[in-house]
Amino acid sequence: MTALPVLANPDGRGSAQGYQARHLLGLPGDVLVDEVETLALSRFAGARWDVAPAGTEPLVPPARTAGPGEPGVLRTSRHTSLTGPFAATGSGLPPGTELVFDVVCPRERGEAPWPGGSDRDGVGRAFPGGLPVREEERVVAWLVAAARRLGGSVRTDVGNPAGPGVVLTPDPGVTIDMCLYSDVWLEPNAALALVARQHPRTILATEGASYQGPPKGITEMPLYPGEKMDPELRRAIHAAADDVDIKALTTGSVLDGYGLLVDLGLDGLVAVEVGGEDQLPLLLRGLPWTAGGAVSYRIRWEPRDLIEAQQEQPSMEHRIARRRAGEVVGQITTALHRAVGGEIADESDFLVEPADL
């Protein structure tokens, strides 16, 4: 492998303009640079290489290819760029980091994090004076998601005189929810049978009680407080309303969504939500089978303690439950994919290979 250029000025003093922020994305050595481009295209429609690193195979034709010892420049918008990869020497990132991308974006800060609040990624801890908003918020969220997906870390606010910046190493186990996009619609009973083969404690969430008619005596009740209507007219209005309700309940309708629930006991629930979807991940838009939208099968975990789920350092009990629920989510997603095909995306809209579930 060709030696990587050294990151100049890793402490960031004077390396960005006053209206800009600088962050570092650190990755292990087994990550391919092409993977970074793919994740950028998954989140930013206009992502492209201004300068493609030598040896890469860009998905979008680059303006040019880097020369010997020259880093690449990946632009996610007119105002944000990732330059690299660089060697990790002096980057301040954790051991095991071998590739570093130098990220410059607009510095846009809003209100400080809520006192005593917590977030599972530690972004509030990294920006105590004001959370990123607008463009910088999108960039930081993508950096954290990319680091989680690729097993890396993010060093935030490099060069800020107020502090050396905070290193975030996102836990890959935090995000377990999946979404399967397909052009095949499974009827509720077929989906129930499929998922129940994996987990017998599965029910259709669309089950309900049959209509028993209007409450007795309602035709004699005033339509509103103080109403002095003729009793016969009141009964006629109530009867007309009942006719509308009965027609709605007896007329067939097209089912456009349903849900399944898997009871995991102390580990919470896994919900499978099925319906039509127009807002697809960027990499799936424009494909022949998604031209008119797609059917989405969202498989998500509902833990028993939602507050605990948002802690950066949750309890051991929560982590064990999350791991077990993640296995269930993976099993259900795999079974559905075998039945309907399509593409799988994680919570960050990054595509996932079925073999990696």
CA distance 123 to 132: 9
53-109 pLDDT tens trace: 988 999 999 999 988 889 999 999 999 999 999 999 988 999 999 999 999 999 999
Over residues 198-212, mean pLDDT: 76
Question: 298 Cβ partners below 8 Å, 6+ apart?
Answer: 177, 178, 179, 271, 272, 273, 274
Please give the biggest Cα pair distance in the chain.
92
- How confident is the model at residue 5, as a pLDDT? 87
What is the residue-averaged pLDDT of the chain? Answer: 89
pLDDT in tens, 243-270: 777 776 666 555 679 999 999 999 999 9
Per cent of the chain over pLDDT 90 is 66
Token pair listed for 230: 């003729």
Q: Residue 110: is its pLDDT beyond 90?
A: yes
Looking at residue 293, its pLDDT comes to 93
| Distance, CA of 260 to CA of 266 (rounded, Å) | 18
| Pairing status of strand 178-182 against strand 167-168 | unpaired
